[in-house]
Amino acid sequence: MKKFLTLTTLLAISTSALAGFNGSNNEPAKAVNTIAQAKKAAENTPVTLTGNITRQIDSDEFLFKDATGEIKIDVEDHAWQNQNITPKDKITIYGKVDQDSQGPASIDVDRIQKR
């Protein structure tokens, strides 16, 4: 009887360890690669964009340009990774789309990589 209870308990525990959400939309969102795509993307869509910062708007906001357009980016201090970037430098930015109901989309930048 003890073996049966032990086996039943182990079976119940192992079954619950395998449980989890298995919805139809469990794929991670794919990163968009152009500004044109980013402007149409949903809030928090990952982005990987390559281009140039064209000018500074204020302390942490800049205009970023690629072959498909221009978009405002918001860059926190940690994203620079101690790199000095000029408008001539080709860079890749990694971040997420910020769809503002008050205006056009922008990008919240998590990391910048100089090319």
What range defines the domain where residue 41 resides?
35-114
CA distance 62 to 74: 7
pLDDT digits (tens, 9 = 90+) for 61-88: 999 999 999 999 999 999 999 999 999 9
Q: How many domains does the chain have?
A: 1
- Please answer whether residues 70 and 36 qualify as being in contact, where contact means their C-beta atoms are separated by less than 8 angstroms: no
The verdict on residue 20 lying in a domain is no
Look at residue 94 and tell me if it is in a domain. Answer: yes
Q: Look at residue 67 and tell me if it is in a domain.
A: yes
Is the residue at 107 inside a domain? yes
13 within some domain: no
Domain at 70, CATH number: 2.40.50.200
**Contact of 82 with 74, CB cutoff 8 Å:** no
Per residue in 4-47, pLDDT (tens digit) is 656 566 666 655 555 555 555 555 668 899 999 999 999 999 99
In a domain, 41, yes or no: yes
